[in-house]
Amino acid sequence: MSDPPNTSGNPPAETPFEQTVFSGLFREVYPHLHWYVRQWVDAPDAAEDLIQEAFLRLWERRARLDPQRSVRSLLFVTVRNLAHNHQRNTRTREHLKATVLPPVPVLTPDVAFDALHLSQQLEVWIARLPDRQREAFQLSRFAGLSHREIADVMDLSVLTVEKHITTALRRLRDHVFAFDPSLLR
């Protein structure tokens, strides 16, 4: 005799297989998601909370997932949307605080020219890339996603993703060359 169909709207009871697959997915993707969400969220605890929320949403929707769609891509899209919501909420809170307390000026020390300085320059140059180009570049280089997965996350064609990444690399190479031509020899 088979179980009655699930009409409650709740996900079906979990199976040991689902738990194992989910745990493996979590271990595999978590570091990449953590890096990705930290592009928008400075606080490590908040970043972890957003990733947990993304996995919770995935778990709750597991019975309705499209098997043709990459679960990894779905997680990246979910984390990105949660991060944007978090940013918006944080900006609202900061705006409210700023109306009550005057901002404290941030002073930065003069940094010597070394590898750290180049790393900081690269971060600045990457941050100045157009939004979609930067996102495609970061997903490719720092999160390790394939062009197809990036296309799914960003809702673009693979060709457009490739153009974004190529253009980003060209711009960064030009910045590095202008910064110190000897670095590209």
The residue from 74, 105, 136 where one domain ends is 105
Domain region containing 46? 12-105
**66: how many CB neighbours lie within 10 A of its CB?**
8
| Encoded amino acid at 174, one letter | D
Tell me how far apart the alpha carbons of residues 76 and 38 are, in angstroms, rounded to a whole number: 12
Any idea how long the chain is? Answer: 185
Q: For 43-99, what is each residue's pLDDT tens digit? A: 889 999 999 999 888 888 888 888 888 888 889 999 999 998 888 888 877 766 666
Q: Is residue 162 located within the same domain as residue 119?
A: yes
Does the predicted model carry a pTM greater than 0.85?
Answer: no
Q: Could you give the CA distance from residue 99 to residue 57 in angstroms, rounded to a whole number?
A: 35
User: Token pair of 176, please?
Assistant: 């590095």
**Same domain, yes or no, for 123 and 72?**
no
Both 35 and 58 in one domain: the answer is yes
Identify whether residues 98 and 117 lie together within a single domain. Answer: no
Q: Which residue is listed with tokens 């693979």?
A: 158
